[in-house]
Homo-oligomer: A and B are copies of this chain.
């Protein structure tokens, strides 16, 4: 049943990609919450640190990719308001 965890992790990671595309394509991020992406990027960074401490490569990788996506949305939000 570990595959369930991999599918779950894949979906919650890749989920941010459509938001990245939308934020870049339309350049409008007014309705997106700045607080959400600040908290999220901080939390994901801590997940990565925790993954290193655990020595859990899947935790590091999944959160690493999510941090890139969430970081791009945060950048767009700060730039565009």
Binding site for B on A (CB under 8 A): 1, 4-5, 7-19, 21-23, 26, 28-37, 39-40, 42-44, 46-47, 49-50, 53
How far is A15 from B46 in the complex, measured between Cα atoms in Å?
13
The quantity of this chain's copies bound in the complex is 2
What residue of chain B has the Cβ atom nearest to residue A28's Cβ?
B31
Q: Helix, strand, loop or mixed for chain A's interface?
A: helix
Partner of A31, one of B10, B30, B43, B44: B30
On chain B, the residues within 8 Å of A4 by CB distance are 46, 49-50, 53
Q: Bound state CA distance, A28 and B26, in angstroms?
A: 16
> A28-B31, A53-B1 known; A18 and B46 CB under 8 Å?
no
